Structure 1
């Protein structure tokens, strides 16, 4: 059963309330039945319909089910999408979840997750899983930037940039990174081999090579130096991944994606794509610092260099205009914490834009968040009730609002997938209709 939501003539995202299809392709018992099989052939990617601009549909095959692309992947940083049960994430149409190697390394530890049977078994999620390498958190938390490092770094060029009022807690060398835990200040070491060891024990279907994240304030010279360091780390990640795959034959095959850096320099981005594209990766992650207006251009640069038969994951994107730009230029999957994070802070998505439920005008508004939304929250609760939960600091608020925002985002990308299958004219129409309403 497809989870694609048909669009109306006005471009709204109307869809059925039954959403068991994409996320429910693998039964609960599949994980146990498949655990002994360690066959790389069980991971693959098939390209479907295409757009003249580079966009495409496809299917990623993993040991724990298929992912129909393009697809939005909700983030469960610590093996949990905050405030929402795994079965609720499945019901809202998500096909996979992404967790964070840095945070799971610090607590509970990859050995615990491994003993539990891997990430999916540990968190009771039966579909495909991703883990990132931890590189973003090591660099961004270590310099005090948090999310600012990825999209909004400003100021004069400075290769030792640290956020105002913060101290540096990560130190890069050619072998790896020393860093202090944001939890207790304890000192730790990540290298390509350490990251691969952690991620193999976490057991996700798709994991990412360890890379160095730079900021927009780093000089051109440092960007070049860092890109070469990341290339060498990629070589080491592939070698360690192959060694651990052979050693851990009792676990399903885990795909390894290389991560492309290069900031906003065309020659560096293309070089990174050529260098990593020639390595034995199963797919690729597009990461690094960039400005919003350059997103589509950078994706086009790297997709022109990458192999067409391997999937491309864009790290940390969820705004509607960014998703449309990324899909039409060739990215296949996306993850971002924003839908759940802003939901917990009272910001909710609708087809007519984002609004804050805490505003006084919603006190006696007994309509749903979005009358065109098919999520559990919109079908059962009013804005007035949700505002009450927020003001009363009830935990249920985060659950209901996260369900809505994640469903809205998942369904938006699902509608893009259907539009590509319907043809390039339909995709252009959908983009104009959706963005015209959302940003009006």
Structure 2
């Protein structure tokens, strides 16, 4: 398609967009009386209007039924979490029995490492990416120390080549082969939070398995954003947060994937609790743990129903629309944003460098942009104009036009505001 950097063209794209009606299903903050242009769905998705209804439903059941809500609410609390498995399985490419929802992301990664990081004297190293999201860095380092090992010896960081922004698949595969029999675990972010690069999870998983290691993925920036095929790729485990592209609310519950081949195995350790016990026998209060025959065996405590309610509201929309439709719009709106950025770059004495891969296969919703010659003042200008974006030092803005609620006219308007901010600085300078 031949794009045009005009309001009329952007409005035409919106008129042709089959998902445009979903914009009205979300609540937008307002700046100076106008709805914001929201680019930070990769940090916190907007609130679905239906979320309040789902929360109110739980509050009503609590008020009217109290403890009996566990069994007699319209959506009984004792199996509330089970409603997520089928819907999430479609999003991450898994079987329903391989998916559960519990706790929060880093908590779940810690719990999954109980099962999948079991170092020996010979096989003890973890391969991860350099400059991973800090929470992953802290988590992996603390796990290594917990096992009495030194992070400098046990953690192997994948590095980008000098002067390059992206990881090369061949370099990752070479590092896995190099570590070889010492590799216990490969644990990487499926989508790099800084650049938005999508890694070749299928190929990397195969390489990790060939080396004899477990392979897990942090899908915080992937779930609800890109196509995933966790079962087909034979991934061992994965976890993701729900508050980014899946719009569940700040700090909300995490989803987990545990490959079916590990269900019911007694040689796989895990931390256990009441809610992972056989559902049909849970209230018999038996002293010996009998695990659920699914990923729910990794559950520990009963589910936080009030937190799960808005997540379920959002998942209903995902289930109705489906990932293929979201990805189709994502590809078009990101391509249009990329085009707008290049057009504005021609009109100003500045230089934008998009450090997210240009190939649709290697990126999702996010574009990360180096604003050479610009500082935080431009970011502040954008925020004051109602463009909610994300700043990363020294001069990178991350732009994530979530397909559920961002419009093509938003992309055009952003370009005009960006141009205004740069020209204003140049005139003042």
Q: Shorter-chain TM-score: what band?
A: under 0.3
In the superposition, the TM-score normalised over structure 1's length comes to: 0.27
Larger-gyration structure (1/2): 2
Higher relative contact order (CA 8 A, sep 6+): 2
